[in-house]
Amino acid sequence: MSFASSHLIPQYFAGLSSATGSFILGTVIGWTAQTEHSIRDGELGFKVSEREIAWLATLFTLGAASVCIPIGFIIDVIGRRFTMLLCVPFLLLGWLLIVFSVNTIMLYIARFVLGMSGGAFCIIAPVYTTEIAQTQIRGILGCFFQMLITMGILYSYVMGAVCTVFVMTLTCIVLPIISGILFLILPESPFFYAMKDKPEKAKSALQRLRGKNYDIAEDYEEIVANIAEVKGNPVALWKGMKRTASRKAFALSILLMMFQQFSGINVMMFYATDVFVLAKTGLEPKVSTIVLGVVQVVTTFAALFLIDRSGRRVLLMISSFVMSLSTLGLGIYFFIMDRDSETALSISWFPVFCCCLFIMMFSLGMGAIPWLIMAETFAEDIKGPATAISATTNWLFAFVVTNAYGPLKNVIGTGQTFWVFSGFTFACTIFVIFFLPETRHKTFAEVQAALENKQNK
């Protein structure tokens, strides 16, 4: 299927438009990396301690965790599109609080609010994009979420390197306004309208997503069949979770979220600048951070062309296994450095190589696929709450790992800490080989059947 096929263009546009919320989330994630030293030096008009900076860097994860479960229910009540619009004023509020902040408390509140409004897109974007996409491009649209996060992070890195904190934050205020305009012209998910027994609106939305000359009859019948299967015998959420397919989908999602965060990705992004400095690359810390941001974006973009060709399982196996080797290598390097610094300095290129390889492999599979699997495996009657719980655990894991890194490396050593990360990503490889079903080119009904029958292929 060609990228240029006319009936696919509206789907790509809608998928990218909805994922602009993910871009904003990326700017929230990357904001502290380039502003840390300036804020500590009092550029905002008041001093911020190193400990307070650490809280600013991680507090948004608690904001994101707090909103995921409510959003999971809200999108099933008022719709995916209107929920996106609802996030816009809160995003504006968060950035404005930073601009007009007079103390650290205001920064804390701003980061928490930005975490809430940005983190909501961890639910909305994957659900919306997988529901509007035809089967053959569902993987590509599912990857838009992670790709635009990495682009948002890179945007923060670049703007933070060339602008003051104040100017950088002002540029971030413009982004929710642009997203809000795009959300206004987006069609609602046909799945949502079908779930609400509004067939004419569902058909109208589907026609907009396929183009005016496309025959939507077959696509609409597939949606109706999927909805009828879960609505034919209405059940409460807790009963829906008793189905074998639902339990398995939930277990797969939670474990993939755990493996993603316990791979050490957030620690790696935080520690990578120190690795570049230690390796005496000659690059300024802000420049080295931009280099990693570029690596992330380029590799995530490459994943768009592989996700629906090689499949989810192969990419995730390769990604997790090579990530495990990368953190194993970093652990060995720091283990050597603690005992023989001269030998470590003679191979100072090695940690830079491991760090870049880790980021590349994360972007290739581990970054996007857990979110995609989450959106692809839950049945419609439990999708909202179930994805919400999965996303909440992801953010809680992120908060735990990021805050546990410092104490853990002080107790067992930096090298040994990276070996712990290596162990988790290797365990992920084994998990994918034996337990993760392939969802590539499968309809929602086929995915549910595969889960129910415990098929792995």
By C-alpha distance, which of 16, 10, 253, 3 is closest to 125? 16
Contacts made by residues 279-282, CB under 8 angstroms, sequence distance 24+: 279/348, 279/349, 279/351, 279/352, 280/345, 280/348, 281/352
pLDDT of residue 443: 79
pLDDT band at 93 (very low <50, low <70, confident <90, very high): very high
Report the C-alpha gap between 85 and 404 in whole angstroms. Answer: 35
Out of 224-233, 320-329, 354-363, 439-448, pick the least confident: 224-233
Q: Residue 457 carries which DSSP code?
A: -
- For residue range 361-399, what is the model confidence (pLDDT) as tens digits? 999 999 889 988 988 888 877 877 888 899 999 999 999
pLDDT of residue 14: 94
- Do the domains 7-186 and 237-456 sit in the same CATH topology, yes or no? yes
90's CB contacts (< 8 A; 6+ apart) are 113, 116, 117
- For residue range 186-200, what is the model confidence (pLDDT) as tens digits? 999 999 999 899 999
By C-alpha distance, which of 10, 452, 2, 12 is closest to 204? 10
> Taking the domains of the chain in order of start, what are their residue ranges?
7-186, 237-456
Report the C-alpha gap between 387 and 348 in whole angstroms. Answer: 42
Tell me how crowded residue 270 is: count the other CB atoms within 10 A of its CB. Answer: 18
> In this structure, what token pair is assigned to residue 337?
């450095």
More confident residue, 219 or 375: 219
pLDDT of residue 282: 65
pLDDT of residue 230: 61
pLDDT of residue 322: 97
Out of 16-25, 114-123, 218-227, 311-320, pick the least confident: 218-227
- For residue range 241-277, what is the model confidence (pLDDT) as tens digits? 778 888 899 999 999 999 999 999 988 876 666 667 7
Tell me the average pLDDT across 206-215: 91
7-186 sits in which CATH class?
mainly alpha
Report the C-alpha gap between 12 and 209 in whole angstroms. Answer: 9
- For residue range 42-54, what is the model confidence (pLDDT) as tens digits? 888 888 887 888 8
Report the C-alpha gap between 331 and 414 in whole angstroms. Answer: 7
Q: Residue 440 carries which DSSP code?
A: T
In this prediction the pTM is 0.84
Report the C-alpha gap between 454 and 457 in whole angstroms. Answer: 9
Do the beta carbons of residue 148 and residue 99 sit within 8 Å?
Answer: no
Tell me the average pLDDT across 92-99: 96
Mean pLDDT of the chain: 87
Q: H helices of 120-231, where?
A: 121-132, 138-162, 165-185, 190-195, 199-210, 217-231
Report the C-alpha gap between 81 and 180 in whole angstroms. Answer: 10
pLDDT band at 185 (very low <50, low <70, confident <90, very high): very high
Kind plus residue range of the DSSP H or E element containing 444:
helix 444-452
pLDDT band at 225 (very low <50, low <70, confident <90, very high): confident
Q: Which CATH superfamily is domain 237-456 in?
A: MFS general substrate transporter like domains (1.20.1250.20)
**pLDDT at 228 exceeding the cut of 80:** no
Q: Which burial class, exposed, middle or buried, applies to 320 when counting CB atoms under 10 A from its CB (0-12, 13-18, 19+)? A: buried
Report the C-alpha gap between 331 and 448 in whole angstroms. Answer: 40
| SS3 of residue 307 by DSSP | coil
Out of 104-113, 138-147, 176-185, pick the least confident: 138-147
Q: Which burial class, exposed, middle or buried, applies to 105 when counting CB atoms under 10 A from its CB (0-12, 13-18, 19+)? A: exposed
**pLDDT at 87 exceeding the cut of 50:** yes
pLDDT band at 11 (very low <50, low <70, confident <90, very high): very high
